[in-house]
Homo-oligomer: A and B are copies of this chain.
Amino acid sequence: MPFDPSTLKYDAAGLIPAIAQDAATGEVLMMAWMNAQAVARTLESGRVTYWSRSRQSFWVKGESSGHVQELVDFRVDCDRDCLLVTVRQTGPACHTNRRSCFYTAVREGEEVELMAPLL
């Protein structure tokens, strides 16, 4: 079946959550949002492209930082309201310079930092 980005289920703001996972290691790197056009651009270009809610503009991941995400596989969930992109991540995915945004764990009621920023 040909894929049509308009068949995904977007929220009231026209956005769908997209989880980025390292294709090689399986590490979950980040979660951000796409609109239908960001979905289309990601598939066309092979460069993962989100919609920045704060800047209200397309966000070609790594365009300014160089920390690009090359698309490896694009997945849609059963309800068509969440995406999973597996990627080849250059450098850190997180704006704090950590490999993953999920660097804080909650263990025995305490927040624990698991990763240091990359140098």
Interchain CA distance A76-B101 in the complex, whole Å: 8
The reply to whether B17 and A111 form a contact with Cβ atoms under 8 Å apart is no
A106 within 8 A of B: yes
Among residues of B, the one whose C-beta sits closest to the C-beta of A54 is B79
The quantity of this chain's copies bound in the complex is 2
Tell me whether A78 and B103 are in contact in the complex, defined as CB-CB below 8 angstroms, given that A2-B110, A21-B28, A111-B1 are known contacts: yes
Could you give 24 example pairs across A and B, Cβ below 8 Å?
A: A1-B110, A1-B111, A2-B110, A2-B111, A3-B106, A3-B110, A3-B111, A19-B28, A19-B31, A21-B28, A26-B26, A28-B28, A31-B77, A31-B82, A43-B106, A74-B107, A75-B114, A76-B102, A76-B105, A76-B111, A78-B94, A78-B104, A82-B101, A84-B102
